[in-house]
């Protein structure tokens, strides 16, 4: 386990120990699954594709379909053009997707495969489509890979075909679970608008059990909707790292104004989402959402003494961690160690500013790893740890209550069906956090302090 992690902090200029991220192609594969009748295609070796499929399958507890160019030694030397042509022909003939979304890997990027030139020589069947994204594994993270594939959807599909913009909104949800995507769509629809949300993995990686195998479930964003996204009035980009780049391309290409927001985790971020819809489309906040907000405020008031002053360490994807930090601060907690494996100074600036304004001295790092994160905790212990499944080893080594949040969650199930966004998601987060803290109180209580009511 991790009991032997040293407490002494030493600067490491090279090398990563236990990275708090995975690679770009996985994020690109997940984004591609958010297109209706799309088959992700990994342009590289079989091992890369197998790893990414396995990781997504374990998180969602649903079989993930994808194809690969199956590089051999010869492909690595002479290039993967022949493999790609053969693979695409076989994919359309055997699996019959409407779209093949190709992403590169470190191997195909290192040897310099030029995908646009390759695609120009491939015969694509009538009515079928191919898109691609460059996603080398040695740069960025699964979040930037997700962003690159979403950007490819805008690049290949979105069109501004009308003289005036329609009364409709695009929503780029970022790398979140299908349960979160469903909740975001519900919130927008409750405001009287029909969102064009993409990618949309709802109904794909959480498809119902019917007793019959379906290669392509009913879910996913439709291409015709993404084409029409160029005629929308606004694009809500939820999360700087996962959604900003495709939203900016949509603004440049089609003149659709971008509104950059945090992932709507917690009361403030959800308020900002609703205010953007209210003022952008002159809509009133629905009574249903107003009631949910009132319930959340009531819960925060009732449980504030569970959270006040508690020190928290949290890590994970930058958009999720940034929004979660804001919510924890609103609960009166102190996020003293905040880390993401995705590189980017914008994360450090954003989270650092939030902590400074709250009067909290904490450590914040982008592009960090869990070895250093563990060392931080050893030097300044915390009351709670929040992160993905890989945090369980630190939680066990340091005997800290642990709340699983984000990707991947490999040792628990049902999480991908239940949202953490919106007011209802915030209620769920409060329940998870308070239960973890109260379970620790019960576990450590003396007999005379073992209370029935907390």
Residue 10's pLDDT band (cuts 50, 70, 90): confident
Stated pTM of the model? 0.95
Where are the CATH 3.40.50.1980 domain residues in the chain? 24-139, 166-285, 292-448
Q: Using DSSP, state whether 72 is helix, strand or coil.
A: coil
Q: Which of 35-39, 56-60, 212-216, 297-301 has the lowest mean pLDDT?
A: 212-216
- Residue 49 confidence (pLDDT): 92
First to last CA, the chain: 34
Provide the CATH topology of domain 166-285: Rossmann fold (3.40.50)
Provide the CATH topology of domain 292-448: Rossmann fold (3.40.50)
Q: Using DSSP, state whether 84 is helix, strand or coil.
A: helix
- Residue 112 confidence (pLDDT): 86
Give yes or no for residue 1 having a pLDDT over 70: no
- Residue 111 confidence (pLDDT): 87
33: CB partners within 8 A, 6+ apart: 40, 56, 64, 199, 201, 204, 205, 220
What is the rounded average pLDDT of the residues 84-88?
Answer: 92
- Residue 66 confidence (pLDDT): 96
Q: Residue 383's closest CA among 372, 395, 391, 374?
A: 395
Give yes or no for residue 253 having a pLDDT over 80: yes
Provide the CATH topology of domain 24-139: Rossmann fold (3.40.50)
- Residue 335 confidence (pLDDT): 98
Residue 376's pLDDT band (cuts 50, 70, 90): very high
Distance between CA 153 and CA 103 in Å, rounded? 12
Residue 4's pLDDT band (cuts 50, 70, 90): confident
Percent above pLDDT 90 for the chain:
84
Give yes or no for residue 186 having a pLDDT over 80: yes
Distance between CA 59 and CA 373 in Å, rounded? 23
């Amino acid at each position: 386990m991790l009991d032997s992690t040293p407490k002494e902090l030493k600067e490491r200029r090279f090398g990563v120990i236990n990275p708090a991220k995975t690679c770009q192609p996985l994020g690109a594969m997940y984004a591609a699954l958010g297109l209706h009748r799309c088959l992700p295609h990994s342009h590289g070796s079989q091992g890369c594709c197998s790893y990414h499929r396995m990781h997504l399958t374990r998180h969602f507890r649903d079989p993930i379909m994808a194809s690969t160019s199956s590089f051999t030694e010869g492909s690595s030397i002479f290039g993967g053009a022949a493999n790609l042509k053969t693979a695409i022909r076989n994919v359309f003939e055997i699996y019959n997707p409407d779209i093949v979304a190709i992403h590169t890997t470190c191997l195909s990027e290192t040897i310099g495969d030029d995908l646009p030139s390759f695609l120009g020589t491939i015969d694509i069947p009538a009515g079928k489509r191919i898109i691609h994204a460059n996603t080398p594994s040695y740069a960025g993270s699964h979040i930037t890979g997700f962003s690159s594939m979403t950007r490819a959807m805008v690049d290949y599909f979105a069109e501004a075909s009308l003289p005036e913009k329609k009364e409709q909104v695009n929503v780029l949800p970022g790398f979140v679970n299908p349960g979160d995507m469903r909740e975001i769509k519900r919130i927008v629809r409750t405001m009287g608008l029909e969102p064009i949300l993409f990618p949309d993995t709802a109904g794909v990686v959480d498809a119902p059990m019917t007793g019959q195998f379906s290669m392509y479930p009913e879910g996913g964003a439709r291409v015709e909707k993404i084409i029409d996204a160029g005629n929308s009035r606004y694009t809500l980009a939820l999360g700087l790292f996962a959604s900003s780049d495709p939203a900016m391309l949509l603004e440049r290409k089609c003149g659709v104004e971008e509104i950059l927001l945090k992932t709507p985790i917690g009361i403030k971020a959800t308020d900002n989402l609703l205010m953007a819809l209210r003022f952008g489309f002159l809509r009133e906040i629905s009574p249903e959402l107003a009631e949910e907000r009132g319930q959340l405020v009531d819960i925060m008031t009732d449980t504030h003494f569970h959270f006040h002053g508690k020190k928290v360490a949290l890590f994970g994807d930058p958009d999720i961690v940034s929004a979660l930090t804001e919510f924890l601060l609103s609960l009166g907690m102190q996020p003293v160690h905040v880390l993401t494996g995705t590189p980017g100074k914008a994360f450090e600036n954003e989270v650092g500013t939030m902590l400074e304004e709250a009067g909290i001295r904490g450590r914040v790092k982008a592009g960090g790893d869990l070895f250093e994160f563990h060392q931080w905790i050893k030097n300044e212990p915390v009351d709670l740890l929040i992160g993905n499944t890989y945090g369980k080893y630190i939680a066990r080594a340091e005997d800290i209550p642990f709340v699983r949040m984000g990707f991947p969650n490999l040792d628990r199930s049902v999480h991908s069906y239940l949202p953490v966004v919106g007011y209802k998601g915030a209620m769920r987060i409060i329940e998870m956090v308070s239960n973890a803290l109260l379970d620790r109180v019960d576990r450590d209580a003396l007999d005379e302090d073992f209370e029935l009511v907390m």
